[in-house]
Structure 1
């Protein structure tokens, strides 16, 4: 009996000791680029591949000496097989810069099968990556694949090869181009920089302007990564059943697109205009419902020690979804964002973009033409006006 009790005591002592499973890895991973996946797309927007190689181009926001990627099959209904994957710096078009091509592995294997509903991280690989570098990620899809998980507003040309595994080809035999990012959702670097995640209802790419401005700062500690998790048409409170490419609501995708972002320190929340614009007369969204949604995201971010900047909603008079009643709600939401004191900072995008002579409209010089989304000049103004919290 004494021997039994002694053995039991040893077992309990060992079981209560802290787990050391992570002791081998002292990396501090930070996302350098990212996109929010959506889908599955309707048939008219579906990208299909068969025994082909994708070469997807992204731009880093911060640099490092080791990199890895995150792939996603989170919106797929069948397993996704990746036969091979590589990463390198882009020279031009689909061509790789000499000497930069690296093979990627997954758990030590050259390929990976990602279950439906799941993401996958590659193993780290040595690559000297500078801030604001053009990076090429090559994925070989050995079978017939439909891109159920995709970010469709890439605003970046991607390349699809002729048949075969061309991941190691310095110059890809291009069959066609695409303007989307299938499966690829993050590029991460080994570094201590930390990241700002922008969660919103549009992929405006003013975040590229912000990334360049941060890299120009003298204070190296303030050069945070900027990760754009915006999705065109996205809503705060609920999904758009008619448009799966608008993504899950911000409340639903928060864990995936914010908390799962490596190194996230700050959140910029710019969402709500699509909820207002699509609000029906029979069941209108209310200020109280929108405030409750914002408070949920603030609370969930604070629980993870993430500072939150609230972005006001830009004018949209002239847009197809505009009405006087919706404008009154937009003004009420903005008044709450500015005065509630519930955010760590406020980004007054409304003041940046509005026409002083007609505050319910975008400044004509910043209007993309749909009276809802800013053009390149408007994006430049947004990036330059973004307030930055203390990052230390």
Structure 2
């Protein structure tokens, strides 16, 4: 049975994935565009995990944009030793850990089927001679050779992925999911999926914390607000013109490192400006700085926003500012902290320093109690939206903001 995650009948998708990606001689020049992304962090938090040894990993990731010449990025940015990856494969996700038969294609790195990534580094694969569909879940598989040490990855995936049960047995190329007996709720080592597109096609990067990460949405359903935004783009006049990369990290703060990884000021270049084809970033960050008293005044965050805007504008990248959503009743809420949030939101709305503004606060708040979510939009913890809240955020986004061109 073909997974309902697939955007079309399985046989049709299998045919798409195995198509050659070579451009005809008359085709327009292409460049890389991100169709999926996840910010790199230490899996397991600041201390990391003990790692894996001689195991195969199958990460399930969801595309926003279809394209040919697909590549993957493997990251060891937070590792403490070189990690060797072998037998990397890319296929269409089937049921559970299975891959749709006939779609699991080998991925090489500088022509080799094995690559060693130094600590602090990441590596981009060769293009796979295939085309991947939009709005489709892919299986990115590889085998870890030897001891990995701490894992670089993404903690809160809101998606189930898999690790093989047997040590020393390379099963990455297998289309059956039978050997992948361990479920994981994080993504391991895979940082991005990139496709080749005409130069008019760009990447939109959505940068933030757990609310961009999709915490509180349904696991495996791709209902984060960036997913819903990508669905809106696909059915609009902008269809096929933007890939969407989600660069949110749960618990992340703008001003200080912590359990949510590197602070936003330090990871902005790697997670936004260094992404392929980026033209616009949506900045939704700062609520954790307020909640944890890192930002005692609105000016603390305003100075940081100005820094991020300057970094982006220096690279001709537009910045859309997003107001911070309400959280009365949630963890660490106080009226005093909410006054800081309100002042930050007022500056975002009125300063004129962003290239555009999306008012997520107005889109999700209860009009009768504006410091709190509308109950239908609340995941239940009063801090994160649920599926309906994330959908409301995506619907509030004016898609023309993506056209910003510096």
TM-score of the pair, normalised by structure 1: 0.88
Tell whether 2:189 aligns with 1:183.
yes
Asked if 2 retains the 8 angstrom alpha-carbon contact of 1:40 and 1:76, the reply is no
Tell whether 2:235 aligns with 1:216.
yes
| Alignment match, 1:104 | 107
CA distance in structure 1 between the partners assigned to 2:239 and 2:43 by the alignment: 40
CA distance in structure 1 between the partners assigned to 2:160 and 2:90 by the alignment: 16
Cα deviation digits, residues 338-370 of structure 1 (max 9, x gap): 000011111100001111000011111111111
Tell whether 2:373 aligns with 1:362.
yes
Deviation at 1:40, TM superposition (A): 5.5
SS at match of 2:316: coil
CA distance in structure 2 between the partners assigned to 1:101 and 1:112 by the alignment: 19
Tell whether 2:68 aligns with 1:60.
no
Deviation at 1:41, TM superposition (A): 2.8
Asked if 2 retains the 8 angstrom alpha-carbon contact of 1:198 and 1:228, the reply is yes
Deviation at 1:99, TM superposition (A): 2.3
Deviation at 1:317, TM superposition (A): 1.1
Deviation at 1:95, TM superposition (A): 1.6
181-190 or 209-218: which moved more? 209-218
TM-score of the pair, normalised by structure 2: 0.85
Deviation at 1:186, TM superposition (A): 0.0
Deviation at 1:90, TM superposition (A): 1.5
Asked if 2 retains the 8 angstrom alpha-carbon contact of 1:78 and 1:116, the reply is yes
Cα deviation digits, residues 158-213 of structure 1 (max 9, x gap): 11113311111110312211011011110000113211101111112211101111
| Alignment match, 1:229 | 247
Tell whether 2:82 aligns with 1:71.
no
Match of 2:91 among 59, 75, 88: 88
| Alignment match, 1:325 | 336
Match of 1:194 among 202, 222, 226: 202
CA distance in structure 1 between the partners assigned to 2:30 and 2:122 by the alignment: 20
Unaligned 5+ runs, structure 2: 1-28, 215-223
| Alignment match, 2:280 | 266
Asked if 2 retains the 8 angstrom alpha-carbon contact of 1:147 and 1:183, the reply is no
Larger Rg, first or second structure (1 or 2): 1
SS at match of 1:128: strand
CA distance in structure 2 between the partners assigned to 1:45 and 1:62 by the alignment: 32
Cα deviation digits, residues 220-270 of structure 1 (max 9, x gap): 46x311111001111111112xx2xx1211100011100111111110000
CA distance in structure 2 between the partners assigned to 1:70 and 1:121 by the alignment: 4
Deviation at 1:145, TM superposition (A): 2.3
CA distance in structure 2 between the partners assigned to 1:45 and 1:351 by the alignment: 37
Asked if 1 retains the 8 angstrom alpha-carbon contact of 2:70 and 2:127, the reply is yes
SS at match of 2:391: helix
SS at match of 1:86: strand
| Alignment match, 2:34 | 31
Match of 1:381 among 369, 381, 392: 392
| CA 1:156–1:361: 2 relative to 1, 3 Å | same
Tell whether 2:165 aligns with 1:162.
yes
Aligned residues: 359
CA distance in structure 1 between the partners assigned to 2:329 and 2:174 by the alignment: 49
CA distance in structure 2 between the partners assigned to 1:380 and 1:90 by the alignment: 25
Match of 2:226 among 207, 210, 217: 207
Unaligned 5+ runs, structure 1: 1-25
Deviation at 1:56, TM superposition (A): 0.6
- List, as ranges, runs of 4+ consecutive aligned residues in structure 1 with deviation greater than 4 Å: 42-45
Tell whether 2:323 aligns with 1:312.
yes
CA distance in structure 2 between the partners assigned to 1:118 and 1:313 by the alignment: 33
Cα deviation digits, residues 119-166 of structure 1 (max 9, x gap): 111111111211111111001012122443120111111111133111
| CA 1:255–1:219: 2 relative to 1, 3 Å | closer
Deviation at 1:96, TM superposition (A): 1.5
| CA 1:63–1:167: 2 relative to 1, 3 Å | same
CA distance in structure 1 between the partners assigned to 2:238 and 2:289 by the alignment: 38
